[in-house]
Amino acid sequence: MEKGFLGTNVITQIGIIVRDIDKVSQSYANFFGIEKPKWFWTDPVDVARTEFKGASSEARAKLAFLDCGQLQVELIEPDEHPSTWREFLDEHGEGVHHIAFVIKGMKEKIAVLEANQMPLIQRGEYTGGRYAYMDTFKELKVMVELLENDN
């Protein structure tokens, strides 16, 4: 039997919602003494197949990644369309949105979490894999993102 709900306890990423990705990226670059990471847009809905609360969403976000040893910091500046990112920014302002785990068996892991009152909030595709945000806030005080890579 796998340990825990996910079969891993290795946090691979912390996601932070920001209003101005250029400004915050530069702040992190200065803090770490590294080059400012370049940001990019998430894929459009026809590629990402983004679903938020069970419905298709045009939502996109600017993303920038900072590799910090075994942990990656993801900066997320959401657009105006419905998404977990936009909802978080509107309700809580800037701050830590999620912790992420690389898993295998996305459908099974979603089912396990949902059976434990941790519902799927948003899911989508990215080049080389898929993601799912699970509402674990009541229990864990932070959202959990599942990442499943094809390789």
Query: Structural domain of residue 69, as residue ranges?
Result: 20-129
| pLDDT value at residue 111 | 97
Encode pLDDT of 68-78 as tens digits: 988 999 999 99
The rounded Cα 48 to chain-centroid distance in angstroms is: 13
pTM of the model: 0.94
Residue 135 lies in a domain: no
Q: Is residue 9 part of a domain?
A: no
CATH number at residue 82: 3.10.180.10
14-42 pLDDT, tens digit per residue, is 999 999 999 999 999 999 999 999 999 99
On the question of pLDDT at 65 being above 50, the answer is: yes
Domain-located, residue 101: yes
Domain count, the chain: 1
Residue 137 lies in a domain: no
- pLDDT band at residue 98 under the 50/70/90 scheme: very high
Q: What is the pLDDT of residues 100-151, one digit of tens each?
A: 999 999 999 999 999 999 999 999 999 899 999 999 999 999 999 999 999 8
Q: Render the chain in DSSP notation, one character per residue.
A: --STTTS-----EEEEE-S-HHHHHHHHHHHHTSPPPPPEEPPPHHHH--EETTEE----EEEEEEEETTEEEEEEEE-SSSSHHHHHHHHH-SEEEEEEEE-S-HHHHHHHHHHTT--EEEEEEETTEEEEEE--HHHHSSEEEEEEE--
**What is the pairing mode between strands 95-102 and 13-17?**
antiparallel
The pLDDT-based confidence of 3 (bands split at 50, 70, 90) is confident
What's residue 1's pLDDT?
A: 42
Residue 151 pLDDT: 83
Please check whether residue 149 lies inside any domain of the structure. Answer: no
Q: Is 12 inside a domain boundary?
A: no
**Is 64 domain-assigned?**
yes
